[in-house]
Amino acid sequence: MKTPILTLPDNAPPSFHMLAKPTGAICNLDCAYCFFLDKEVFYEGSKFRMSDDTLEEYIRQLIEAHQVDDVTIAWQGGEPTIMGLDFYRRAMALVEKYRRPGMRFLHTMQTNGTLLNQEWAAFLKEHDFLMGISMDGPRELHDVYRVDKGGGPTFDKVLRGIRLLQENDIEYNVLTTVNSVNADYPLEVYRFLRDEVGTTWMQFIPVVERINEDGLTLRQEGDHVSDRSVRPEQFGRFLSTIFDEWITHDVGRVYVQTIEAALRNWLGMSSSGMCVFNQTCGTGLAIEHNGDVYSCDHFVEPAYLLGNIHNKHMIELVASPEQLQFGQDKYDRLPQYCLDCDVRFACQGECPKNRFILTPDGEPGLNYLCAGFQYFFRHADFGMKIMSELYRRRREIREVMPIYRRAFADVGRNDPCPCNSGRKFKQCHGREHQARHVGLPTLRSQSRSELTANVS
């Protein structure tokens, strides 16, 4: 066993988030848009299972590296449940072995939920896990891209996993990837998750697949995206429609991560709670099954490999000049178009992985989703200001609901929008009020084996 380092680097952050991938890119599903499954080519010949030695080094160093009492231990994949329960029982024992007095641990896991059973539920409940379950909406939308290795549907298995968590009172949230298909059905997705699944915490993550020169999506390279990728304006309308539904009916009982983060930025808080909407990043890293540490979960590729915890202590990698520069570049590389933007305080350029198009004046580094985020944040501004004022007055933020409903009641389509945008209601908030679908489409499931079409 290595001797623990005695002195932390001067620039070491007091805490950070390390996302562990004990199975690497290996998964029991074959979701068409998954950005991680192809990463197995970086580890040819690997068994893709974290060894006991690597597990112990990971837990020990993670605890040693934290200067605060609260530590998050996060598992993802691939599919982390493939490792089996005994692996995580060993992890819990190691936490007890290396914890310092007064330390508190938050155990989290992102899973597709298909392998969960009652034995898993008992373990997760015992250790108070926070679970993330991936679901893309109703069956007709979920099964388009979230398929098994044979190209078959997974909706029923995922829903069964969610019901298991609910029945055992295990805290969970739902992560929905927003793609070119389900993005056209924001109300159907949101209402399904709220009313039929019964979740009270939702994450909406945009699918942006960059096409490399060889036609693959292995690296964060290329300025074209796949046909599965959500379109910028489409994503903006998706978020705006959900925002209107939420702020009208669900404030205080349903939590939408993007909305929560936006409100924090409207309030001028020190952190949005989401790395993509903070001014800088760099404290959300990823560790592979063999101990390799990368700058970010979205940058698991050779150019962003910081080192291996078997050769250098984790905190030295977290506080390395390369990683500090990676995080600072989120701000330093913003084009002037972003610096001058009226909603930059809310967006902060979003994730660097999506900054691959040109600004209107030809400067590189603009976020592919820029038009969508501008649409959403400008649309949400009216409601965000009301909620911010309620918060500052120490009032219940849920009081925004009747205020918001009254503001848009009995407004004619051609009347000025009450949000003071200067546009007609039908061209502003009225557009989202009128965005309603009847029924869901009949769609064919698509696997990763199908050819990816390019769009400009």
Catalytic residues: 297
Give the pair of three-digit tokens for residue 167.
């029945």
221 backbone dihedrals φ, ψ, rounded to 5°: -140, 150
- Residues 278 and 77: their CA atoms lie apart, in Å, by 25
- Residues 324 and 332: their CA atoms lie apart, in Å, by 12
- Residues 46 and 48: their CA atoms lie apart, in Å, by 5
DSSP H or E segment with residue 438: none
Give the angle 90-93-98 at the CA atoms, nearest 5°: 125
- Cα–Cα nearest to 129, from 99, 157, 165, 80: 165
- Residues 8 and 14: their CA atoms lie apart, in Å, by 10
What contacts 291, CB < 8 A, 6 or more positions away? 54, 57, 58, 308, 309, 310
Peptide bond preceding 268: is omega within 30 degrees of 0, i.e. cis?
no
* Residue 95: alpha-carbon gap to chain centroid: 26
Using an 8 Å Cβ cutoff, are 130 and 73 in contact? Answer: no
What contacts 255, CB < 8 A, 6 or more positions away? 200, 201, 202
- Residues 361 and 5: their CA atoms lie apart, in Å, by 50
Query: What is residue 356's three-state secondary structure?
Result: strand
- Residues 54 and 288: their CA atoms lie apart, in Å, by 10
Using an 8 Å Cβ cutoff, are 207 and 177 in contact? Answer: yes
DSSP class of 418? T
